[in-house]
Structure 1
Amino acid sequence: MAQQERGKRSRRSILEAAARVFDERGYDAASTNEILARTGLTRGSLYHHFPSKQAIALALVEAHGEALRPPERPVRLQSVIDLTLEFARRLQSDPLLRASVRLTIEQSSFDCPPRTTYDQSFEAILALLQEADRHQEVLPGVDVQEAASTIVGSFTGLQTMSQAYSGRADLLERIGIFWKLLLPGIATPGLIGHLRTTLPDD
């Protein structure tokens, strides 16, 4: 059991170190030597968990899905909003999530898997919008697939701009403004006044 626990810690250490290197340098400029230097592990330990740099990157992309667990809210549109806001907050501090986003966006030699982070995000948002539609929270005639695609694409662009201008310090504000502009086009009028575009106070 102790050996199994050490193995889990080693794997996590590799992923965290690799995430920081990928986030700072990008995939092509990152090296397993630098990743190893940040972990203090042996090369044999790294290859025990990951046979290549690409295998590490793939594991980070898969970890992206963990950040897409929707919060439980009575109003499903609020769940959609809070999912994007919570994801934005985690992007400000979580190196694994930041690395997975950069690996997806960046043009590099890394071959993203067929089910990319865009697909994961689209599926999570679409499922919530479909529930919102069934609960009559969405305006008649709104195509929820188009709405989901627009939300994912807009979030991607906004987080890229936020990273460039403020290191993502203003990302939550940008996402809140986005929702204020989008909600009149998708939410039923009586619901808009009851929806938050900021995270609740802890």
Structure 2
Amino acid sequence: MGRPKQERAVQTREAILRAAAEVFDEYGYAGASVNRILERAGTTAGAMYFHFKSKEGLARAVMGAQPQTIVPLLDSQGLQRLVDITMIWSFQLQRDPLLRAGVRLATEQSGLQDATSYVEWAQIMADCLVVASDKGELQAGVDPQETAEFVVEACTGMQIYSSVTTGRQDLPERVVRMWHLLLPGIAVPAVVARTEVSPSRVRLPEHAAD
């Protein structure tokens, strides 16, 4: 009895989160009404407020869900894992409303002022670079945390530029270009040569498509 109820609660929460992501992605934080989110989710206000205390809480949950659209798709380690994060991210931004909404909310910061998602991404990337350092993939003096923060900063600006100019259609190519410029400055030559920076590495699940 307990497990089906728990499963339904998880499914309801996920449905609300996904519906909210779609609405935030389309209208931004200011333009996304609770009623519009409830209508999209096909649920009640009581159900929403059981899982999320407020519209702000829901927005923060959407921002915090960004890694779950990417990390489960990874199977590499070290520097290659970091590159793969950014490549998958570049494609998922074209197709996954949960990631797009999280990025839009984090970028706009309308009524939120929350840097948590940036900090979390920097830590995920720094962890990749620590492994890379331990494996001898990085040049001497390369600081994992500093480099990770730079990659987050670069990707943030890059996706905004790409969004304005091409609707993010050229974002994967821009990510490839970023790594071609950056890798020689942080990795030892042998690792630069073997690190794959290619959209062909990206394998996305069909159910994530719009």
Q: Which runs of 5+ in 1 are unaligned?
A: none
1:72 and 2:37 equivalent? no
Q: Write 1 or 2 for the structure with the bigger share of helix.
A: 2
The alignment's TM-score, normalised by the length of structure 2, stands at 0.86
SS of the residue corresponding to residue 26 of structure 1 reads helix
Q: Which runs of 5+ in 2 are unaligned?
A: 204-210
Partner of 2:155: 155
Instruction: Report how far residue 9 of structure 1 moved.
Output: 2.2
* Higher deviation after alignment, 17-26 or 64-73: 64-73
Instruction: Report how far residue 21 of structure 1 moved.
Output: 1.0
2:121 partner amino acid: S
Please point out which of 97, 102, 114 is paired with 1:95: 97
1:73 partner amino acid: S
Partner of 2:206: none
SS of the residue corresponding to residue 92 of structure 1 reads helix
1:171 and 2:171 equivalent? yes
Over the aligned positions, Cα root-mean-square deviation in angstroms equals 1.9
Partner of 1:183: 183
Instruction: Report how far residue 173 of structure 1 moved.
Output: 0.9
Q: Percent identity?
A: 41
**In structure 1, C-alpha distance between the alignment counterparts of 2:63 and 2:202, rounded to whole Å:** 30
Partner of 2:208: none
4+ residue runs over 4 A deviation? none
Partner of 1:4: 6
**In structure 2, C-alpha distance between the alignment counterparts of 1:80 and 1:119, rounded to whole Å:** 15
Q: How many residues align?
A: 199
Deviations along 1:18-67, one digit per CA (max 9) or x if unpaired, are: 11111111111211011112122222222222221011112112212324
Deviations along 1:81-137, one digit per CA (max 9) or x if unpaired, are: 11111122222211111111111110311242x6x1111111011111122112221
**In structure 1, C-alpha distance between the alignment counterparts of 2:66 and 2:29, rounded to whole Å:** 16
